[in-house]
Structure 1
Amino acid sequence: MNLSNSEINEMYLDVLKELGNIGTGNAVSALAMMIGRKINMKVPVVKMVKLQEVPEILGGAEIPVVGILLNVEGDIEGFIMFVMSQASAHLLVNMLMGTTLNGYNEFTDIEKSALMEIGNILAGAYLTALSTLTGFKMIQSVPQLAEDMAGAILSFPAIQFGETGDTALYIETEIFEESSRIVADFFLIPTIESYKKMLKALGVA
């Protein structure tokens, strides 16, 4: 059976949406256990984007953001990047530590560790979902935290982890707890070869 490009793209998008749903379910369970309270998450956006589109998605290259970066090795190679506004990052820390927001001061070492641990948990949740769908084994590195402008955050992992592809899996994740709403942008940026392997494993290449 021959499929058109639009049909292939639609199939791939359906698989990506399933990845987002499975990953979010994993992340909700892990974060709720870590925080010790019920939280809600949803995935309003799942799509493939070009790397040059990422700064605009984040609000512009000059927007100050907090990035959590992880290298990915194994059957799929590349890197994962979680990016939040500074306000969302502070809200997330307060949610985790049970503290009250008191301005947007610099993060303490404990708060930075908390953010990196959250990034570790979320990365694991989405990699587990991807592994479930593809059968690939993937290992994530220790997370790194960066506070910078969106354009600089994007360039850092490309230099750190070497050559990557020009395409990213983008999952916008919303986290809710009572009146708090946090938006975290998730990007999986595989190498060109890994991207081809993913397409083949998902049955759309």
Structure 2
Amino acid sequence: MEIGKLGAIQLDALKEVANIGACHAATALSELTGEKVLVNVPVIRINPIEKVFEMVAKPQDAVAGVLIYFLGDMTGRTLLMFPQEAAWHLSDCLLHRPLGTTRSFTEIEESAMKEVSNVLTCAYMNALGDLLGLVMVPSVPSMTVDMASAVLEAVSLDFGSDKEVVFCIETEFRFVEKDTVLNGYFLLLPDQDSLEVILKAIHLG
């Protein structure tokens, strides 16, 4: 299966999924934070796993990542990842605190991040499910704060060379009242059978 064969129609379909997912995610963030949240047009990348990892962060960068497995008509895993500073700011927005309050993750901040990651992940996965006509159910989220290399290595365990394609959606969330922009990365790592389903649905398989 050669991702390089993706044509304009297929890429447009995936970009539309990213746009819809990002808009739903922004709406969900607005509801959770009580603030107006806007999104820029998201950037979607479809690459081998190691290339995507090089794009989203430097190995030594501190990041917060929330891993969620999904079951149902498709299986695989997702990783919602924020640079550490952005994750701290997002935590402050969720907990209705001044920006700069959070400087580490206690149980309260971690719980808030897991909740919002679950909501944001569902926003993207529901958009994909609507395109494919499939239902997916998320697992309980788990969170890790570490160097990017460690977080990405953990999420890619058992993700062999025959399952190396990663869908990455980079989204900028702009919190209007706080006049701040947070970058987030949504990574979808489908199992091999589910990758086939996605590619066939967009007429590549």
What's the TM-score, normalizing by structure 1? 0.90
Q: Secondary structure at the match of 1:118?
A: helix
Mapping of residues 44-123 of structure 1, within 5 Å: 44-102=42-100, 105-123=103-121
* Cα distance in structure 1, aligned partners of 2:114 and 2:4: 38
Q: Structure 1 residues 37, 119: CA separation in 2 closer, same or farther (over 3 Å shift)? A: same
- Residue in structure 1 matched with residue 200 of structure 2 by the alignment: 200
Matched, 1:9 2:7: yes
Deviation at 1:196, TM superposition (A): 0.7
Residue 7 (structure 1) shift: 6.8
| 8 Å CA contact retained: 1:72, 1:78 | yes
**Once the 2 structures are TM-superposed, how far is the Cα of residue 163 of structure 1 from its aligned partner?**
4.0
Structure 2 counterpart of 1:152, one-letter code: A
Question: Is residue 46–residue 165 contact of structure 2 (8 Å, CA) maintained in 1?
Answer: yes
Q: Would you say the 8 A contact 1:43–1:172 is kept in 2? A: no
Deviates more, 1:188-197 or 1:104-113: 104-113
Is 1:184 matched up with 2:184? yes
In structure 2, do the counterparts of structure 1 residues 188 and 7 end up closer, same or farther at CA, with 3 Å as the change threshold?
closer
**Pair 199,29 (structure 1): closer, same or farther in 2 beyond 3 Å:** same
CA contact (8 A) 1:11 1:204 kept: no
Contact 1:87 / 1:104 at 8 angstroms: preserved in 2? no
How many equivalent pairs are there?
Answer: 199
Q: Which runs of 5+ in 1 are unaligned?
A: none
Shift of 1:11: 2.2
Residues 14-51 of structure 1, C-alpha deviations (whole Å, 9 max, x = no match) = 11100011111211222211212221122331121211
TM-score (norm 2): 0.90
Shift of 1:177: 1.0
2-side partners of 1:97 and 1:154: how far apart?
27
Residue of structure 1 aligned with 2:131, choices 130, 133, 147: 133
| Contact 1:86–1:104 (Cα < 8 Å) also in 2 | no
C-alpha RMSD over aligned residues: 1.8
| Long gaps (5+) in structure 2 | none
Q: What one-letter code is carried by the residue in structure 2 that aligns with 1:170?
A: C
Determine the C-alpha separation between the residues in 1 that align with 2:73 and 2:52: 25
Q: Say if 1:67 and 1:83, in contact at 8 Å, map to a contact too.
A: yes
